[in-house]
Amino acid sequence: MNYQLTRRELLKVLSGSLITGNLSNALTPGGAHGRDSPKNIRWAQGWLLWRGFKGQALTLKDALENLNAVGADGIEFSPGSSELVKQGLTKESLKEFLGRMKLAISGNYFSAPFFDPGRREEIFQEAQRRFDLLKEFGAKNMIIGPPDAAKEGTADRLKLIKQQVPVLNELGKRAVDQGIQIGIHPHLNTLVESPPEIDAIMEATDPRYVFFSPDTGHIHLAGGDLLAILRKYKSRLNYFHFKDGVRPFVRPDFIPNLRELGQGEVEFPAVMRLLKEIRYRGWINVEQDQTRLTPKQASEISMAYVRRTLMPIYS
């Protein structure tokens, strides 16, 4: 569902996000899009915000142009052949456009029934296809989405979580052998959502091969202590979704809980201080499934918050 704000409401939100300066200055300090010096953190946003927008049909090029304008470093996107065809693109033309926009692919998202031994080879084949795409676009992060819990009914969740471990360990080993990392991504309405479920999968998997790619919003809405969980698995952090939201979450629809960065309850400054403490280096993907605004406006607000509030803490 897409909520539309009045012009007065939009101006109020934008003014709150840009209280320290105009939009251009808030988004692009220190040179062209802030991409002219080495960084510990590279900032991306997910294509799904544009892809799923119901207000109007938006293209991948629209998303990339918007991200270039706000000074992002990349986009989280799984450039499968069928979607590229729908977008009127090839892998070569996408690479060329990414270069023009000064953007990179940060990673892609992969979910499968990892607990099902009968699907093992099918999963490995699809994963290898995605590994090949990541390598072709110079990316190295595969975000592992746990299987949908609703499809498993009342099955023993912890048993199913543990049944995933052999496939995930092998998938992670194959990834590392190719210069790629997979990261467990806790997500509402899946088998890995609550703190005990996060502990179960992280403690059972091999830390040499399986990393942690948390989503701040999903952990917060699931009732987790975000900072405690990040600190517990700090040595395995390899990728982030920064998502903001407000409690309470009423299952199964979390879309009404989502907000642009800085508009919800997640304590992002505290997260950034932790990342500075552990000297994290890698991608942070600003993730928002839907917005009350337009994707362009939502992107502007979130990235303005990143530059005004988060980058001064650690960049």
Q: What is the pLDDT of residues 287-312, one digit of tens each?
A: 999 999 999 999 999 999 999 999 99
Hey, is 80 helix, strand or coil? Answer: coil
What digits encode the pLDDT tens for the residues 264-275? 999 999 999 999
Residue 55 banded pLDDT, cuts 50, 70, 90: confident
Residue 35 banded pLDDT, cuts 50, 70, 90: low
CA-CA distance, 298 to 151, in Å (whole number)? 32
pTM higher than 0.85: yes
What digits encode the pLDDT tens for the residues 81-121? 688 898 999 999 999 999 999 999 999 999 999 999 999 99
What digits encode the pLDDT tens for the residues 114-150? 999 999 999 999 999 999 999 999 999 999 999 997 6
Is residue 79 pLDDT above 80, yes or no?
no
Cα–Cα distances (Å) from 221 to 2, 234, 251, 313, in that order, read 20, 20, 10, 25
**Per-residue pLDDT at 52:** 87
For 255-288, the DSSP string reads GGGEE-TTSSS--HHHHHHHHHHHT--EEEEE--
Sign of the alpha-carbon dihedral angle for 223, 193, 132, 67: negative
Are the C-beta atoms of 281 and 237 separated by less than 8 Å? no
Query: Which residue type is seen at 162?
Result: K
CATH topology of domain 7-17+40-310: TIM Barrel (3.20.20)
CA-CA distance, 97 to 16, in Å (whole number)? 33
What digits encode the pLDDT tens for the residues 195-213? 999 999 999 999 999 999 9
